[in-house]
Amino acid sequence: MSQSQHTFRRYKDGDSQYRSIGESIFEQDTTYKCPTYVNRTPPCQGSCPSGEDIRGWLSIVRGIEKPAGGMDKFEYAFYRSTDANPFPAIMGRVCPAPCQEGCNRNEVEDFVGINSVEQFIGDNAREKGLKFKVDATETGKKVAIIGGGVGGLACAYQLRRKGHAAKVFDNHKELGGMMRYGIPGYRTPRDVMDHEIQRILDLGVEIQLNTWVGKDISLDDLRRDYDAVVIAIGAQAGRAIPIPGGDAPNCTTGVAFLDAYNDGRLRFVSKRVVVIGGGDTAMDVVSVARRLGHIEHSHENDRPENVILNQTAQDVAMTVKKEGAEVILAYRRPVDQMPAALHEVEAAEREGVELRGSLVPVSVITDDSGRATALRVAKADWSSGQMEIIPDSEHDIECDLIVSAIGQGGDLTGMEALDNGRGLINADKYYQVPNEQGLFVIGDIVRPHLLTTAIGQASVAADSIDHYLMNKDFGKRPKVDVHHFDLLDKLKESSLAPEEYNHQETWGTNEANFAVHNYEDRSAQEIIPADKLFLGHFGHTPRNLRSESHIKADNVIDSYEERFQGLQQEQAEKEADRCMSCGMCFECDNCVIYCPQDAVYRVKKDQATLGRYVATDYGRCIGCHICSDVCPTGYINMAMGEH
């Protein structure tokens, strides 16, 4: 880290030139400007696919934002977090946390461990038995949701909170979608997942399992019987390897492989496994393959490809003979450019997976029976920034099973008319299917991405459905489309709501109690960058890390304990305290201490709340902008007086 990252420059290049003494004394720098308080969206929240008010619940955990009515702060943080995401315990474990990549603290040192604090909030809520509640009046409207994964369940949750009835149809025997059938249980503990799902169902969400809409029930029937329909079926069809021989019987997809494992059917793999891909699904496949191991002499029916394709289960008794499987991951780019989460890559290497980068699959070598015996690859050179195949670099990687984890598509059986030609369904910005009123679509079937992406889309879709059901115009979505902190809501919660305004012409509102003064909310339009902060305020504080089970290659078989253990309460509080509260006051008192005119002052305790901790006496303010310079969070702007 360069020293410049910690250097605050009070003056800029060219500021060494002297001005006239009259200008210096009477005009100063910007005497006509006075401070105003501006709320912007922090980059963690702007990077969060589900749009959580991350700064908000971190502020609650650290004790800055206080709950009303004597509520426990962790309960308050739970409800703030779940306003956007009803799965904090699960997402705190498995989300690759793009919020942490966007965290402004990366400009000072290491990011804030957002997902670890979120996991604590979720685990604490489960331990305390916290429930959701519906405060809205029942509307009598009914919405059918096709798909019981995180997107469908999150949409049902948001719709119930608005007073609409919701029924989820799913073609599996259990809810959870890819969260259950696409991610191994040591990453999404089934007891935790089941608890968070049940909390949603307890709101009155109906379910109908083992039902394929398009086969068992037609989409037209649902559209006739319900006021709106949401398609949230995910992309549960993996993409095969598009190379000669890729249709060999022992070539399968990562989605099918993980489905067979999570369904309890796949209990061991082949001796030599090659996985193609570099994303999170590929990491799950190689890690599961190493844990499953192989059986030296197994029946032909127990071959992994037969179990995966024929929906049979392997013989449990044979698993006592397990040996380690040789697992190789081949990725077309260099290993350090794999999109998978870094800790998953490092864990796979520790567990005995061989990672080979810059390899491009050319063909699958098969034997006389048509089964794959090797994957032929060519080496690639990426030094120019483009992929260039190295001449005469082709070679074979011997294998007994090839798993393709290179992408996903949807299975639109029974809904083929909605296929956009890529095995997916188009959506507009409101997540309505274009030209199909009352039919909405969210999640991987729109574009395969993260679980949290589906959760974020569910929230937007629920808003759109609510407007549709209430015959309201959809309106314009905000530029920064996340769950924003609302000062008026906070003032109401704190019994500090402004008085009713009679809307008669009034002059001089500085003493009026119906107006909120010197505050501007730009959170729907702006994300605050690091260069608007006073980074010099923040010292180095080491991250409070979750302890990790470091499984090694020699003990990986059947090691299914959870990889990360959650933070303790004190650790969670300390980690939350590392948040820089970008774009919102966190009550550091810098502006009060450094104001040379005593113009900035603390608001009286009985009138203060988050975002209203300090105020300015504009009769004293001389526009020196020191308060703005020393504000660590960029909350104070020298803007009042601008036209």
- pLDDT (mean) for 295-312: 79
Residue 300 scores a pLDDT above 80: no
Is 237 exposed, middle or buried (CB count within 10 Å of its CB: 0-12, 13-18, 19+)? Answer: middle
Please determine, for residue 505, whether its predicted confidence score (pLDDT) is greater than 90. no
Cα atoms found within 13 Å of the Cα of residue 95, Cβ hemisphere only? 31
Can you tell me the distance from the alpha carbon of 54 to that of 579, in angstroms, rounded to the nearest whole number?
A: 10
Distance CA 239, CA 217 (A): 27
Of 54, 4, 110, which is closest to residue 531 (Cα–Cα)?
A: 4
Q: Where is average pLDDT lowest: 138-152, 165-179, 196-210, 296-310?
A: 296-310
Write down the pLDDT at residue 340: 93
8 Å CB contact between 408 and 182: no
- Global pTM reads 0.91
User: What is the share, in percent, of the chain residues with pLDDT greater than 70?
Assistant: 93
Question: Which is more confident, 640 or 79?
Answer: 79
Burial of residue 335 (number of CB atoms within 10 Å: 0-12, 13-18, 19+): middle
C-alpha closest to that of 595 among 566, 559, 620, 576: 620
Residue 67 contacts residue 74 (beta carbons within 8 Å): no
Please tell me the predicted confidence (pLDDT) of residue 549: 82
In terms of Cβ atoms closer than 10 Å to its own Cβ (0-12, 13-18, 19+), residue 417 is exposed
Query: Alpha-carbon dihedral of residues 548, 549, 550, 556, nearest 10 degrees?
Result: -150
- For residues 151-157, average pLDDT: 98
Residue 3 has pLDDT above 50, yes or no: no
Going by pLDDT thresholds of 50, 70 and 90, the confidence category of residue 185 is very high
Nearest to 423 by CA among 450, 444, 404: 444
Q: Whole-angstrom Cα distance, residue 11 to residue 13?
A: 7
**Dist CA 371 CA 245 (whole Å):** 9
Work out the mean pLDDT of the chain and round it to a whole number.
92
Give the tens place of pLDDT for each residue, 506-535: 877 777 788 888 899 999 999 999 999 999
pLDDT band at 299 (very low <50, low <70, confident <90, very high): confident
Domains of the chain listed by start with CATH number: 3-53+484-640 (no CATH), 142-236+410-469 (3.50.50.60), 239-404 (3.50.50.60)
pLDDT of residue 316: 66
Inter-residue contact 211 to 169 (CB < 8 Å): yes
DSSP 209-247: -S--BTTTB-HHHHHHHSSEEEE-----EEPPP-STTTT
Which pLDDT score, from 0 to 100, does residue 137 have?
A: 96
Average pLDDT over residues 539-562: 91
Dihedral sign from CA coordinates of 231, 237, 238, 240? negative
pLDDT at 328 (0 to 100): 98
Q: What is the pLDDT of residue 176?
A: 97
Environment class of residue 301 by beta-carbon count within 10 Å: exposed (0-12), middle (13-18) or buried (19+)? Answer: exposed
- Between CA 343 and CA 97 the distance in angstroms is 12
- R_g over Cα of the chain: 28
% of the chain exceeding 90 in pLDDT: 81
Phi, psi of 486 (to 5 degrees): -120, 110
Non-local CB neighbours of 357 within 8 Å, separated by 6+ positions = 278, 331, 333, 334, 335, 336, 337, 338
Question: What is the spatial distance between Cα 70 and Cα 177, in angstroms, rounded to a whole number?
Answer: 38
Residue 169 amino acid letter: F
Choose from 30-44, 310-324, 547-561, 563-577 the range with maximum mean pLDDT. 563-577
pLDDT in tens, 428-472: 999 999 999 999 999 999 999 999 999 999 999 999 999 999 999
